[in-house]
């Protein structure tokens, strides 16, 4: 959705998509040191934009991001896409493997490492923020949405999207979002899949490249020298080192375990957003 919205002529979308500027309780928040830096580099010519937006997925999980955002812009609008937690955390694990934030290939084993990792044990050396490896906590969307609603006084500032709806009728969900944001229909009809499931071809090469692309000091140096972010040779090499690969289905017993784990939290989410989500736990 962020990719589609970034091409809307009325929207100035941040570059990079995930700035992580407002989740100041997470260690990866190092790309921009000041508000002026954030605005000038993430949003060039931001003073002329009708609408500015970004897609930092960790703002919902963060304990500080929403209040930080509201302290800057009290009428900010929040777009929250919600996915079945069992599938969400499995997809997240795959994303971590691509970005070398996770070193356990088997998701079920990674899930069972949470207790150890909460005690700073068995942590991947390449993970900048250990709390993001707490898959169970990350997947408790009901708790996170409850926190969001407690911070934002006007519910009209929040737009929820169910991932299943987005996948089944992307154009309809895109138009609903445009209406929420007060934007004109830009006539978009191309909704090609973005960020499809993939895996790394050469893990050693992927680890080395990711270490360079995720180096915050190097990022700031390149930015200060005027290099365009996100399109350099390292990023292209990283893409070449990936191959499209459909995730294997979770072991049925393990998926049932995950659904049982998240069941009460999903029920909380159902009540908060007034939506039947029984298919996520039954």
Same domain, 177 and 111: yes
Same domain, 221 and 111: no
CATH number of domain containing 102: 3.40.50.300
* Of 167, 162, 172, 137, the residue nearest 272 (C-alpha): 162
Same domain, 193 and 218: no
- How many angstroms separate the CA atoms of 185 and 174, rounded? 9
Same domain, 118 and 230: no
Question: Which pairing describes strands 158-162 and 78-82: parallel, antiparallel, or unpaired?
Answer: parallel
Same domain, 146 and 209: no
Which pLDDT value is given to residue 88?
98
Same domain, 98 and 227: no
DSSP letter string over the chain? -HHHHHTSTTEEE-SSS----S-TTSTT--S-SSHHHHHHHHSTTGGG-SEEE---GGGTT-SSHHHHHHHH-TT--EEEEE--HHHHHHHHHHHHHHTTS-----HHHHHHTHHHHHTT-S--TT-S-GGGG-HHHHT-HHHHHHHHHHH-S-GGGEEEEEHHHHHH-HHHHHHHHHHHHT------------S--EEES-HHHHHHHHHHHT-HHHHHHHHHTTPPTT-SHHHHHHHHTEEE-PPPPPPHHHHHHHHHHHHHHHHHHHHHHT---GGGT-
Same domain, 120 and 164: yes
Same domain, 139 and 262: yes
- Would you say the pTM of this structure is higher than 0.75? yes
Note down the domain range covering 228: 198-245
Same domain, 208 and 136: no
Same domain, 68 and 148: yes
Number of structural domains in the chain:
2
**pLDDT, tens digit, 9 for 90 and up, residues 186-217:** 999 999 988 766 566 666 666 665 555 555 56
Same domain, 86 and 216: no
Which pLDDT value is given to residue 219?
55
Which pLDDT value is given to residue 63?
97
The low-confidence residues of the chain, meaning pLDDT below 50, are none
Q: What is the token pair recorded at 252?
A: 């049925």
Same domain, 150 and 113: yes
């Amino acid at each position: 959705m962020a990719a589609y919205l970034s091409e809307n002529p009325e929207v100035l979308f941040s570059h990079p998509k995930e700035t992580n500027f407002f989740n100041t309780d997470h260690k990866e928040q190092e790309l921009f040191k000041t508000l002026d830096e954030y605005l000038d580099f993430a949003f060039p010519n931001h003073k002329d934009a009708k609408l500015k937006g970004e897609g930092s997925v960790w703002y919902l999980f963060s304990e500080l991001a929403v209040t930080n955002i509201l302290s800057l812009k009290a009428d900010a609008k929040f777009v929250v896409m919600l996915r079945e937690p069992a599938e969400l955390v499995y997809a997240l694990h795959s994303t971590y493997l691509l970005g070398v934030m996770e070193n356990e290939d088997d998701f079920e084993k990674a899930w069972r490492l949470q207790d150890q990792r909460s005690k700073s044990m068995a942590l991947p050396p390449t993970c900048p923020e250990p709390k993001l490896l707490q898959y169970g906590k990350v997947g408790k969307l009901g708790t996170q949405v409850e926190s969001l609603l407690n911070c934002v006084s006007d519910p009209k500032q929040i737009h929820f999207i169910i991932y299943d709806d987005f996948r089944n009728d992307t154009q309809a969900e895109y138009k609903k979002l445009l209406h929420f944001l007060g934007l004109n229909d830009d006539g978009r009809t191309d909704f090609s899949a973005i960020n499809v499931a993939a895996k790394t071809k050469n893990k050693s090469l992927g680890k080395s490249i990711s270490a360079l692309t995720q180096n915050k000091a190097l990022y700031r140096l390149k930015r200060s020298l005027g290099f365009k972010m996100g399109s350099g040779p390292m990023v292209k090499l990283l893409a070449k080192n990936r191959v499209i690969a459909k995730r294997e289905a979770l072991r049925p017993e393990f998926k049932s375990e995950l659904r049982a784990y998240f069941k009460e939290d999903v029920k909380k989410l159902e009540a908060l957003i007034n939506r039947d989500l029984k298919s996520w736990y039954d």
